[in-house]
């Protein structure tokens, strides 16, 4: 059953588990849209006999967990999509990288381009025709020595743009792959467990009431369990 943090006639905010698709999945794999539709029917939050409208506003990669908002009407979807375009939908992530950044607080700016098959992204020179500007800022919260995995660092990341695999690519390109990232990482830690990336906070303005809303969930399990920061919070 999907973990719902908030729901009304316009929006539904839920926690996406790692391993579940953000939108309708191919074949019979689990996905958030299907789970939300089931929730709306079970809790009688939709018109009986009619398939509920569930609009996908933003996405999280399949191995990433965290907070997501879905629109339950086309008007709400349009309003929330405008907030995404205007960078008014704020996303804060928790991540564990292999290594320690040179600076405890910094902003990363790159240009990213997708591979031909669309399965990967990589950093390119800003003069490239297809490169899209990618921005994020981060704060290092805690570092520790993790035996054979070396130094691990817990980060709080504010995503300024929403590019394909952005966080994973930007840190990997600096020799700081995310723990558990088998696509962009190298070494024991990068293949040691689940991807240590969680969308732990989401802020936006309610599409109908105009009320500022923030929803949060603490990262848990995997590499996150190694750090005292969330245990002491």
Asked if 191 and 183 count as a contact pair (C-beta separation under 8 A), the reply is no
Tokens of 15: 């926690």
What is the residue-wise DSSP string for the chain?
A: --EEEEE-SSEEEEEEPTTSBSSPPSTT--BHHHHHHHHHHHTT-S-TTSPPP-EE-S---TT-EEEEEEESSHHHHHHHHHHHHTT-SEEEEEEEEES--SSSEEEEEEEEEE-TTSS-EEEE-TTSSS-EEEEEEEEEEEEEE-GGG-EEEEEEEEESS--TTHHHHHHHTTT-PBTT-TTT--STGGGSSS--EEEEEEEEE-TTT--EEEEE----SGGGGG-HHHHH-
Q: Catalytic one among 8, 10, 61, 117?
A: 61
Torsion angle of C-alpha atoms 38, 19, 66, 46, degrees rounded to 10: -10
Q: Active-site residue 31, yes or no? A: no
* Residues annotated catalytic, as ranges: 61
């Amino acid at each position: 059953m999907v973990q719902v943090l908030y729901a009304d006639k316009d929006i539904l905010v839920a926690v996406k588990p790692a391993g579940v698709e953000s939108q309708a999945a191919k074949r019979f794999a689990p996905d958030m849209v299907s789970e939300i539709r089931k929730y709306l029917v079970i809790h009688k939050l939709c018109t009986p006999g009619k398939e509920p409208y569930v609009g996908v506003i933003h996405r999280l990669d399949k191995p990433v967990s965290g907070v997501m908002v879905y629109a339950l009407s086309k008007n709400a979807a349009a309003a929330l999509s405008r907030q995404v375009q205007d960078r008014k939908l704020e996303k804060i992530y928790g991540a564990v990288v292999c290594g320690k950044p040179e600076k405890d607080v910094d902003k990363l700016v790159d240009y990213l381009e997708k591979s031909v098959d669309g399965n990967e992204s990589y950093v390119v020179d800003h003069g490239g025709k297809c490169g899209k500007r990618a921005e994020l800022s981060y704060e290092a919260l805690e570092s520790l020595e993790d035996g054979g995995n070396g130094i691990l660092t817990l980060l709080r990341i504010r995503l300024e743009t929403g590019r394909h695999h952005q966080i994973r690519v930007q840190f990997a390109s600096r020799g700081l792959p995310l723990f558990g990232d088998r696509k962009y990482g190298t070494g024991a830690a990068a293949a040691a467990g689940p991807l240590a990336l969680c969308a732990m906070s989401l802020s936006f303005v309610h599409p109908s009431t105009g009320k500022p809303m923030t929803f949060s969930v603490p990262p848990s399990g995997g590499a996150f369990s190694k750090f005292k920061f969330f245990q002491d919070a």
